[in-house]
Structure 1
Amino acid sequence: MEITGKRHVSVFTFPFASHPFILLNLVRRLASAAPAVVFSFFSTAKFNRAQFTERDCDNILPYDISDGLPEDYVYDGKVVEEAQIGLFLGVAEEEFKRGVQVAEKDVGVRVSCLVVDAFLWSSGDLAEEMKIPWVAFWIAGSSSLSAHFYTDLIRQKYDELKDSVGPDDEIPNLIPGLPVVRLGDIPKEVIFGDLESPFVTMLHKMGGAITKATAVLVNSFQELDPDLTKNLSPIFNNLLHIGPSNLVSKQKSPSKPDKSCCMSWLDTQNPRSVAYVSFGTVCTPPPLELVALAEALEEGKTPFLWSLNNDSKKHLPSGFLDRTSANGWGKIVSWAPQVQVLNHCSIGVYVTHGGWNSVMESITAGVPMICRPFFADNLINTWMVERVWRVGVRIEGKSFTKHGTCGALQLVLSSSSDNGLKQRMEALKDLAHKSVGPNGSSILNFKTLVDVVTGATL
């Protein structure tokens, strides 16, 4: 199709976990704000088929790229394996180059800007070759971005200290802009694990390349981490906090209907009394921890809504489901409309893995957290929740035990608790909502992004 006179922006996704969904929501915002721009959106055929309907913006055109997996690859459909990421990265650069050529021929307009998942650092080389702006989107928070940007510095400091410190030690100034951090809460890709794996190498090279980006987008609001923002802002060309994405997304309704009647059940509960339990689509605690968590909920008679996959229900204590549902204070579902649940007045605490989307959704709803982190940025996010923002707690002993979980639930849910946690969470909630209000920082930053994409700043 020929679209003479319009600008053309290509969008590259990292097609794993929540990455492509969050980037697509950003592109929908951009497409609405810049209707004279055509966006060619590159992701896997599976993602594009599921996400693009006749209701989408006319100026977003999906293009399929290969995920790099051989036809006989065995995938269980649940956990993203590092091997899958490695196979994708092996073909990604050529796939995106080929795709841009196809899209330019199809649209009839040369690509004038790249908007990409920050993981795809090599797209900066393509943008330089094409002599066009490169916008890198970090879908998580400032703390994890800083950890990966300062990887070389952190590794150097760790090499000097490693004979005298362990994972539980708190290290001052390990990450510039963060006064102290627990060594074990640094993403393992920075100093632990296989530092030569394709995924770790990708993150390391991203940290070195991202300063070349025309703009670096962060899925957060700048008032949340002022010291980290102050440190990174002079280093990047345009550091733009444009979130939280759940407050500004064009998709306001849940992606699936509430068939389990979560919201109507929450209507029957007392204000701020319910523990919402969910560990996302990737993480599930091991069987012994599921038992300990269930026992703690039952012993304290804590009302709960628990999003738990069917395969894991068999590990719960015998009779737990029947006893708690019969008494009316427990409900287990295979899926819940999380944003709507967290914003319900009955929710008093969120028991979570500490993924960035979940942390943002909890903050914007004003719900304190109990975190049981698993991997990636879960750990540093949990450090921020407990020790920097002080709006939640980490589960005692790094895993669920009956005693530790009972204590955490009591600490957060008790009406007599005077630790200021709820007040601090309300203050962060207010800052988040102000950032996306009229003349809020995230709204102004988004306007700057629109200028970059449309060429108004060039």
Structure 2
Amino acid sequence: MAFKLHIGVLAFPFGTHAAPLLALVRRLAASAPDALFSFINSAASNATLFNATAFDNIRARDVWDGAPRGEPFTGSHFEAVGLFLEASPGNFEMAIREAERESGLEIGCLLTDAFLWFSGDMAEKRGVPWVPFWTAASCSLSSHVYTDQIVRAIESTEKAKQEKALSFIPGLEMVTTADLPPEIFLGNNASPLAITINKMVEHLPKSTAVVLNSFEEIDPIITKDLKSKFPNFLNVGPSILASPAAAISDETGCLSWLGGLNRPNSVVYISFGTVITPPENELAALCEALETCRFPFLWSIKDHAVKSLPNGFVDRTNSFGKMVAWAPQPQILAHESVGAFVTHGGWNSILESIASCVPLICRPFFGDQKLNSRMVQDSWGIGVLVEGGVFTKSGTIECLKELMTTEKGAKMRENVSLLRKKAVAAVDSQGSSSKNFDKLLEVIGAR
């Protein structure tokens, strides 16, 4: 097929950044069959994302990840991020030239992860639109946009470390400086990621549109404020409701195990995403809480972490608990047996929880997770933040019992159900997210 338009898609291959970008690209590709999408991402990330169901008009392209060639990388997650950012944008420039040469079609738009701020300069040089995709919530984007004001507010307090309420940021009145992503505070020892995010804030106003996998109605005040700051501020999600995931095989038996329980809202599902394993003392506290409460639980936990659990825990709980190395999370949360989700508070996990009406127990670790968890508890009222932000036996027992057995827990379940209704309305044909998606097609030149 002769394509009329070539969109360059630049991914950030860490955490859960590339998957939601690909979900968006799949929606766009289905709506614009005469556009070719070159999805440029690291080989390792592409290998996990692409399968036999790829679209004809999406081409996966590998970009060098900055790691030494020809030898396995053994560094940490954060070292890998640093190497990748060092290799950029040269690695992307090379991949774009190759994509243009092979397709015979010049790039007409750059749709990129918002972290890749240099894409704005690349788009400007080419005279094409730059459309950054923010993979997190609008509340965290807002916190970055207000970086200068936050830093000034902290400097104006007598003690720099003192917590300060963010009453000057629309929609973040219940948040304090302690809840913020650490990357906001550059300090003297800034990480490559912190420098990248701060450069992103400088460049975002030059974008043609800023796109989010969220919906306007979750934070109307923040939405209104950010709409005043960008030419097109487009919430087009949640993608899990806009284009539900295909059925996956239940190779670890999670869904059949849940089905066998036959008790609505009775199971605690536990997962901390793809990057994080809690420290050993917190794993022990969580295990003790689960043993004490004896709620049925399903835990997605990496094999190496199982070795750090208290002696005998697996045997003592196998009558009411199931542990697996991998779990089909959206399908598990959608199962009627699941009544609570113990999570790190990542944005994709929160959206999946809202889509399935499951309240959350949040133990945040890094990035936007503290801020998300604060919003879960104090703004949206759809869950709780563990006491002190870490797992202790008593604090975790209290959270589990509150969600599973009390009126407050029932109220959170009701709140998350109302939020789901708003999300469903947003992705309806006349909803805000659907209208924004149509606008996005226009911006990239596919309409």
**Common fold by TM > 0.5:** yes
Deviates more, 1:185-194 or 1:433-442: 185-194
**Per-residue deviation, residues 24-75 of structure 1 (Å, max 9, x unmatched):** 1211111110011111121122333443345311111222211111137663
Task: Write out per-residue CA displacement over residues 360-406 of structure 1, whole angstroms, 9 at most, x where no aligned residue.
Answer: 11111111101000000111000100111111111112211111111
Residue matched to 2:64 = 66
Identity over aligned residues, as a percent? 43
1:175 to 165, 169, 185: 169
**1:47 equivalent in structure 2:** 45
Match of 2:136 in 1: 140
> 8 Å contact 1:142–1:228 — kept in the other structure?
yes
Rounded to whole Å, the distance in 2 between the matches of 1:222 and 1:188 is 26
Alpha-carbon shift at residue 108 of structure 1 (Å): 1.4
1:26–1:249 CA contact under 8 A, matched in 2: no
> Which one is further off, 433-442 or 387-396?
433-442
Residues of 1 paired with 2:94 and 2:201: CA distance?
25
Matches within 5 A, 1:34-433: 34-71=32-69, 75-76=73-74, 80-81=77-78, 83-161=79-157, 163=159, 166=162, 169-191=163-185, 196-249=190-243, 251-254=245-248, 257-269=249-261, 270-325=263-318, 327=319, 329-417=320-408, 420-433=411-424
SS of 2:155 mapped into structure 1: helix
How far apart, CA to CA, are the structure 2 residues paired with 1:152 and 1:338? Answer: 37
**Secondary structure of 2:374's aligned partner:** helix
Comparing 23-32 with 412-421, greater Cα deviation is found at 412-421
Report the secondary structure of 2:298's partner residue: strand
Could you report, residue by residue, the CA deviation over 1:76-124 in whole angstroms, capped at 9, with x for unpaired residues? 48x512x322221222112222222222221112211110000011111
Aligned to 2:13: 15
Q: Please say if residues 171 and 182 of structure 1, whose CA atoms lie closer than 8 Å, have aligned partners that are also in contact.
A: yes
Contact 1:41-1:62 at 8 Å conserved across structures: yes
Confirm or deny: 8 A CA contact 1:4 1:108 kept in the other structure. Answer: no
Contact 2:186–2:195 (CA under 8 A) maintained in structure 1: no
- TM-aligned CA deviation for residue 315 of structure 1: 2.5
How far apart are the structure 1 equivalents of 2:191 and 2:317?
45
The one-letter amino acid paired with 2:127 is K
Deviation at 1:455, TM superposition (A): 5.2
Closer/same/farther in 2, CA of residues 416 and 20 from structure 1, 3 Å limit: closer
2:77 corresponds to which letter in structure 1?
V
Q: Amino acid of the residue matched to residue 80 of structure 1?
A: H
2-structure distance, mates of 1:299, 1:125: 56
Matched residues, number: 446
CA RMSD of aligned residues (A): 2.0
For 1:277, the aligned partner's letter is: I
The letter of the residue matching 1:131 is G
Structure 1 residues 194 and 367: alpha-carbon distance in aligned structure 2, compared to 1, 3 A threshold:
farther
Structure 1: where are the runs of 5+ without partners?
Answer: none
